[in-house]
Amino acid sequence: MEKRIAIKQEYLSIPIKVGERNKLFEIFIEKEDEKEKLFEFQIPIGETGKNDYVGDYDVYLPVKQFIGQTLMLQGDMQEEFLTAVRNVSNQKHQEESSRPLLHFTPETGWMNDPNGLVYKDGVYHLYFQYNPFHIQWENMSWGHAVSTDLLHWEQKDTVLFPDETGTMFSGSGIVNEKGMLGLPQEALLFFYTAAGSSNIWSKGKDFGQYMAYSLDGGKTLVKTKKEVLTSVCKENRDPKVFWHEESKAYIMVLWLEKNDFGIFRSIDLENWNQTDKITLEQGFECPDLLKLFDQDGKEHWVFWSADGYYYWGEFDGYQFKTTGERQKAYMNEIPYAAQTYSGTVGRTIQIPWLRIPNTGKKYTGAMGLPRELSVLCREEERLLRQKPIREIEEWKKSHAHMVSEYMDENMQVSVICTDDKKFSVDKSNACKGKYCWKIDKLNVAYDMEKGFFTVGNKTLIIPQNIRDFLFIVDDDIFEVTADCDTIVGVFLLADPD
């Protein structure tokens, strides 16, 4: 089935029926006697009857660049669906009964890894793995949101869509401060993985590392379509790129396969040489390589992988030499694929994806609360600090009614609830070092002597004699920070297990 549509306005409105079987949907542009493919998506399309085709929500595909031209829609679907695809001038926001206030969530669709985190001209850009066309994983694209304070986010147009090189997997972003590639210094540069053979269009192709750039402050990304780094392994992916001042080169860290990662160097962002290959115990995908500082200003290098496993070591611009001992950043396994911002001088700000289902909603997934990373050296121990961003303190001042405090001679607890959920404290066993709190219907407890931290029916082992906790309750998300920001966990109120 085909439909031709003259593009006069900025978006194609495409109805989505959640839960239906995916069907191939293609969009072409007609040029003289031939047609050129622009988009290829797998879209859930339901059965149609005599009435108009109405979806659960609409996807707004940006087509501003094709105004004045004719596009052809094509797919193995009924005419009613194609008739329901319309050219419109603006997006209609979807209404949700509730959603987090301090954690970014997409308006609709599936979201996973944060990508291309870059700060420029007072704006924090959050790109992310995105399937606008369903609340399940598919059609990997890059969504986009912006913020000036890391707490209030505005979702923008999707910027990267699948093409003939594959679907758009994870990557990173930097400001082109050194004026590379013939592009202005204010340009934003993005490195991403094109996952070859992950869509029909790219069948038979390998995974490759590519680059896109933006000349309009991150609103639109232009793909160069030239491989930055040819495939090293079958599914090598997730390039994180940064400038290493000490050795005067750009560094790319890349997941290769299994527990292996590669380190690559370039002085021009075009020619890359591999200088190291490291194997990290249980390390897997989404790497980051960070220089952090402790309370005395001493630097510490750490290599990060998707599960929140990290590894202390030394980096000279060529090789990362690790102690080999795996550390774990989180109490549990909800946070994943965290990435740090580029362009934030003097601050190392990190955001993870939260693997939560958002049952019954028109979106899946959320981002964790942004945190500032540093190192705490205490006695002979080196600890990673993950402090909630400093902006949260200003937010607390203007939302004092959402903040509760509890303190005795052994324990200090601060609680932020962004809605009307109730917080209470059972003080009966505080003298014995046992603390119990209730947040909405969720029971939380900590035994100082044994180090048992209990959320609902799940008990975790954390250090003993912790004397400080911060609880942030945001819709169904429950974030825990403790022991001078060295312990972090994320839970769900609705399903604490």
The 3 state secondary structure assigned to 120-145 is: ECCEEEEEEEEECCCCCCCCCEEEEE
Nearest to 497 by CA among 315, 329, 339, 356: 356
Region of poorest pLDDT, from 28-37, 331-340, 405-414? 28-37
Section 408-434 average pLDDT? 92
Query: How confident is the prediction for the chain on average, in pLDDT?
Result: 95
Q: What is the pLDDT of residues 211-237, one digit of tens each?
A: 999 999 999 999 998 999 989 999 999
113 included as an active-site residue: yes
| pLDDT for residue 497 is more than 80 | no
Q: What is the pLDDT of residues 190-199, one digit of tens each?
A: 999 999 999 9
**Backbone phi and psi for residue 85, each to the nearest 5 degrees, phi listed first:** -80, 120
What pLDDT does residue 49 have?
Answer: 65
What pLDDT does residue 296 have?
Answer: 96
Q: Strand 468-474 and strand 477-482: pairing? A: antiparallel
Nearest to 390 by CA among 475, 491, 485, 483: 485
CATH class of 109-388: mainly beta
Region of poorest pLDDT, from 92-106, 163-177, 338-352? 92-106
What pLDDT does residue 494 have?
Answer: 76
Nearest to 70 by CA among 30, 13, 25, 27: 30
Region of poorest pLDDT, from 126-130, 226-230, 273-277? 226-230
Distances (CA, A) of 313 to 77, 382, 403, 449: 55, 12, 39, 33
Q: What is the pLDDT of residues 435-493, one digit of tens each?
A: 999 998 899 999 999 999 999 999 999 999 999 999 999 999 999 999 999 999 999 99
Section 147-174 average pLDDT? 98
Catalytic option among 33, 56, 76, 113: 113
Hey, CA dihedral for 225, 133, 138, 156, is it positive or negative?
positive
Q: Long-range contacts of range 431-437, CB-CB < 8 Å, 24 or more positions apart?
A: 433/465, 435/411, 437/413, 437/471
| pLDDT for residue 97 is more than 80 | no
What pLDDT does residue 495 have?
Answer: 63
**CATH 2.115.10.20 location in the chain:** 109-388
Q: How confident is the model at residue 496 (pLDDT cuts 50, 70, 90)?
A: very low
| pLDDT for residue 93 is more than 90 | no
Q: What is the pLDDT of residues 277-328, one digit of tens each?
A: 999 999 999 999 999 999 999 999 999 999 999 999 999 999 999 987 999 9
> pTM (2 decimals)?
0.96
d(CA 84, CA 52): 7
d(CA 474, CA 329): 21
Q: Which residues pair with 414 in a beta bridge?
A: 405, 470
| pLDDT for residue 48 is more than 50 | yes
Nearest to 370 by CA among 387, 354, 358: 387
